[in-house]
Amino acid sequence: MTLHRKNLIDGEWLGEAGSRNINPSNTNDVVGEYASAGPDEAKQAIAAAKAAFPAWSRSGPLARHAVLKKTSDEIMARKDEIGRSLAREEGKTLAEGVGETIRAAQIFDFFAGETLRLSGEMVPSVRPGVGVEMTREGVGVVGIITPWNFPIAIPAWKIAPALAYGNTIVFKPAELVPESAWTIVDILHRAGLPKGVLNLVMGKGSVVGQAMLDSPDVNAISFTGSVGTGKRVAAASVEHMCKFQLEMGGKNPLVVLDDADLAVAIDCAVNGAYFSTGQRCTASSRLIVTDGIHDRFVDAVKERLDKLVIGDALDAKTQIGPVVDQTQLKQDEDYIAIGRQEGAELAFGGDRLERGTPGFYLQPALFVGSNNAMRISREEIFGPVANVIRVKDYDEALAVANDTPFGLTSGICTTSLKHATHFKRNSEAGMVMVNLPTAGVDFHVPFGGRKGSSYGPREQGRYAMEFYTTVKTAYTFAG
């Protein structure tokens, strides 16, 4: 049975469900049909969120706690079903889909707790008899624009803090993954959100997203996606003096030193570079390896890649699902061709794979003999493609790791406390991993990067408060 899903605007499900959502593991499988809003519906949603803000922002913390806790509980109770649906529409494996769903439940639970932990400060004024209070208030209408690669976790880590701190929302998910977005909104709506507090506006980025950027009534925009769109968000936000937060690409280095535990390094490289089909902004796409371990490392990675099961995301045996769609597949294949033209050697994979169903299957690709000036080392590919850069020692590895326009995550595999400590201090990334994959983070601590990867306050954990609240300083003379 084909699902038909509408947008949620001012507490009503509206719009014709006409836009098809295809399963990338089997393009004959239509997940559902979804409403695709125009600019007028985006405007209605913004107006509804604006109207709902005064009451919601002044609601007691228990009202907000109740909705977030109920949402967490329902997501957790339905984790297998929601995780499966996520895997079906995005192409990540069942285990990854269920894992991501559990993550979303944990995030809602965390921010349910945060509603009860809001605090302020009170200090004496420099003027005798005057008290000064510093409190945090919601920002207003928050526009949430999300990508397709984490269809439920990224919306959760933006929606949960936005609601917890009293904001109202216009949520525009990526076109490729509307079912996960619809599901989370449906759960929140039924959990008791007042009308207008959360509006779902599915549709094209250039239409719905752009309408959000053009509106003077959106007070803050939290965006995750490409660098190009991120720059548009930034420019439009400045025009309206709208607060904004951007999470964009990565070209994350994983350094492997001679003294690394080889098994740990292989796990980190294969997981970091290829799991979730390499479609994570935290993926390790540059494997920077010192001379003494280089050949053993490359052989072992190839051996591991050869054993990976690539197939239908919904098959429990699958370890790597398909690429998300035809456009992304073409981008991956184009970069594989570019790497070859640039003189890198394709040591493994890179071919299209045939499976029992028509889908976007690609064999993980590993380049060796690459250098850091090549386009495959500098531009985000966002697929199961990584390249090994051979370096002579730790100092060169660190220099190469930092020589990038991005700065989201970085990693090092070493048994040297000295090098691990130096790397943590000197890596120009927002998140640094020692003997762990560059992808895979906790939900209760800050997430974000530097340079071209991120802009604005961090997401997640208590640090999320910085973006989703504004500080008020109030002075009282008691007489």
Regarding 174 and contact with ligand ADP (CB under 6 A), the answer is yes
Regarding 231 and contact with ligand ADP (CB under 6 A), the answer is no
Nearest-angstrom CA–CA distance, 156 and 150: 10
- Between 204 and 355, name the residue whose CB sits nearer to ligand ADP: 204
Active site residue 380: no
Nearest-angstrom CA–CA distance, 274 and 284: 8
Instruction: Give the pair of three-digit tokens for residue 348.
Output: 């493994």
Q: Which residues lie below 8 Å from residue 385, measured CB to CB, with a gap of 6+?
A: 278, 285, 332, 335, 336, 339, 350, 364, 365, 367, 376
Residues 408/454, Cβ–Cβ less than 8 Å:
yes
Active site residue 268: no
Instruction: Give the pair of three-digit tokens for residue 83.
Output: 């995780």
Stretch that binds ligand ADP, among 53-61, 144-152, 187-195, 373-381 (CB under 6 A): 144-152
- Between 37 and 273, name the residue whose CB sits nearer to ligand ADP: 37
Regarding 323 and contact with ligand ADP (CB under 6 A), the answer is no
Instruction: Give the pair of three-digit tokens for residue 259.
Output: 């003294």
Give me the least distance between CB of 43 and ligand ADP, in Å please.
14
Regarding 35 and contact with ligand ADP (CB under 6 A), the answer is no
- Determine which one of 281, 333, 413, 459 is catalytic: 281
Instruction: Give the pair of three-digit tokens for residue 286.
Output: 């540059």
Q: Which of 83, 155, 196, 205 binds ligand ADP (CB under 6 A)?
A: 205
3-state secondary structure of 150: coil
CA-based radius of gyration for the chain: 23
Q: Which of 140, 166, 209, 411 binds ligand ADP (CB under 6 A)?
A: 209
Regarding 146 and contact with ligand ADP (CB under 6 A), the answer is yes
- Between 92 and 172, name the residue whose CB sits nearer to ligand ADP: 172
Give me the least distance between CB of 100 and ligand ADP, in Å please.
16
Q: Which of 229, 284, 414, 454 binds ligand ADP (CB under 6 A)?
A: 229
Give me the least distance between CB of 139 and ligand ADP, in Å please.
19
Residues 162/96, Cβ–Cβ less than 8 Å:
no
- Determine which one of 89, 96, 179, 247 is catalytic: 247
- Between 182 and 348, name the residue whose CB sits nearer to ligand ADP: 182
Residue 459 CB neighbours (<10 A): 22
- Residues that bind ligand ADP (rule: CB under 6 A) add up to a total of 16
40 burial (CB, 10 Å; 0-12 / 13-18 / 19+) is: exposed
Give me the least distance between CB of 368 and ligand ADP, in Å please.
28
157 burial (CB, 10 Å; 0-12 / 13-18 / 19+) is: buried
Give me the least distance between CB of 426 and ligand ADP, in Å please.
30
Regarding 226 and contact with ligand ADP (CB under 6 A), the answer is yes
Residues 397/242, Cβ–Cβ less than 8 Å:
no
Write out the E strands in 240-302. 243-247, 252-256, 284-290
Q: Is the dihedral of CA 438, 443, 449, 452 positive or negative?
A: positive
Give me the least distance between CB of 206 and ligand ADP, in Å please.
5
- Between 173 and 437, name the residue whose CB sits nearer to ligand ADP: 173
Question: Would you please indicate which residues are annotated as catalytic (active-site) residues?
Answer: 247, 281
Residues forming the site for ligand ADP (CB under 6 A): 145-148, 172, 174-175, 205-206, 209-210, 213, 225-226, 229, 232
